[in-house]
């Protein structure tokens, strides 16, 4: 009797030591935007949902604000397994593969409805590409529509000539070139500082980033151009995902689908809310003049043409799927 009890306790001890009883996996999730940004808030909810649904077997720690990796390094970190999972701005990787930049092209998809359509056309090829790179796409959420922030009032694109223009992607740099501005790449995490030191006089981004980085402290004019809605994507290293047991994998996929739905709704709400915050902080918020709008649309048409020339038949097929 006593002997048997001893055996059982020994067995329990061995199981605990081997990690069998309390098997727990920990993932790091680098993200580039501040903790209060709606994408980051959504990521924390996603992590909490996974924790709960997996019965505590998978713990995901979100590292917002580019605290673990800088924005342009996150994709490679996930691919190489330095981070198991991460959040990337797809459009930032356009030079690597043109399809990544499809949602960063001005005036291709300018409303939430069109962005959803574009995402549907983009998603299968994104999944294929990321899979070839040893990763899996979990979900993607659009930023609110991109408008122009400027130090001075802007009546037409000519007013942007020579201005120091902050870019966050190849496309936002290209816009600067086409309007004769001087592009300087600055990640969101460094944007406030860049403004304070005067290296940025204009840029295109969302109301969300306008509030995150307090753009109203330096740029007094906002033109609600609604030119495109770039997406953040949450990607996971395939080996890390495959190492999970089936029920935990299912928990991740389900929580991701919920985060996607929640994120798109949050984006729309944030779009409205942040316009009010910008205004309350003294910004002049206007629709673009007919001239400015026409100028920017021309820039967009040029860029879609350039993109298509580089993207080839794969790009054309995606555009056809989007427009059908």
Q: Which residues of the shown chain bind ligand PCA in the complex (CB under 6 A)?
A: 89, 143, 168, 188, 205-206, 208-209, 230
Question: CA 227 from chain center: how many Å?
Answer: 16
Could you tell me whether strands 25-30 and 58-63 are parallel, antiparallel, or unpaired per DSSP bridges?
parallel
Shortest distance (Å) from residue 222 CB to ligand PCA: 13
Of 126 and 211, nearer to ligand PCA (C-beta) is 211
Shortest distance (Å) from residue 252 CB to ligand PCA: 25
Shortest distance (Å) from residue 31 CB to ligand PCA: 12
Of 206 and 248, nearer to ligand PCA (C-beta) is 206
Of 168 and 222, nearer to ligand PCA (C-beta) is 168
Report the C-alpha gap between 315 and 294 in whole angstroms.
Answer: 25
Element (H, E) at 85: strand 85-89
What is 148-176 written as a DSSP string? EEESS--SSGGGGTT-EEEESSHHHHHHH
CB atoms closer than 10 angstroms to residue 217: 13
CB atoms closer than 10 angstroms to residue 99: 21
Of 40 and 205, nearer to ligand PCA (C-beta) is 205
Residue in the shown chain whose Cβ atom is closest to ligand PCA? 206
Shortest distance (Å) from residue 208 CB to ligand PCA: 6
* 61: β partners: 28
Of 188 and 304, nearer to ligand PCA (C-beta) is 188
Report the C-alpha gap between 76 and 189 in whole angstroms.
Answer: 19
Shortest distance (Å) from residue 205 CB to ligand PCA: 4
């Amino acid at each position: 009797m006593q002997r048997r009890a001893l055996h059982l306790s020994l067995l329990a001890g061995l199981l605990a030591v081997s990690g069998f009883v309390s098997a727990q996996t920990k993932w790091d999730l680098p993200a580039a935007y501040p903790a209060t940004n709606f994408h980051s808030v959504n990521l924390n909810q996603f992590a909490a949902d996974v924790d709960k649904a997996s019965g505590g077997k998978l713990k995901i720690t979100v590292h917002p604000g580019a605290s673990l990796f800088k924005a342009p390094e996150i994709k490679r970190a996930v691919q190489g397994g330095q981070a198991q999972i991460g959040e990337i701005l797809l459009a930032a990787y356009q030079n690597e593969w043109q399809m990544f930049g499809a949602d960063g092209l001005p005036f291709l998809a300018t409303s939430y409805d069109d962005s959803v359509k574009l995402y549907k056309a983009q998603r299968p090829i994104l999944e294929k590409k990321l899979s070839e790179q040893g990763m899996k796409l979990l979900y993607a959420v659009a930023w609110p529509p991109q408008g122009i922030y400027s130090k001075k009032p802007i009546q037409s694109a000519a007013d942007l000539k020579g201005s120091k223009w902050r870019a966050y992607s190849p496309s936002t740099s290209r816009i600067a070139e086409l309007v004769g501005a001087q592009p300087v790449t600055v990640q969101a995490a460094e944007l406030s500082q860049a403004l304070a030191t005067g290296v940025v006089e204009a840029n295109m981004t969302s109301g969300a980033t306008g509030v995150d980085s307090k753009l109203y402290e330096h740029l007094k004019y906002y033109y609600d151009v609604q030119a495109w809605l770039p997406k953040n994507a949450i990607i996971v290293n395939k080996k890390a995902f495959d190492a999970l047991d089936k029920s935990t994998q299912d928990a991740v996929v389900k929580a991701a689908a919920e985060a996607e739905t929640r994120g798109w709704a949050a984006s729309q709400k944030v779009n409205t809310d942040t316009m009010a915050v910008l205004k309350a902080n003294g910004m002049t918020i206007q629709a673009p003049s007919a001239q400015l709008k026409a100028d920017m649309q021309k820039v967009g048409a040029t860029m879609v043409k350039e993109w298509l020339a580089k993207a080839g038949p794969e790009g054309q097929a995606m555009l056809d799927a989007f427009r059908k």
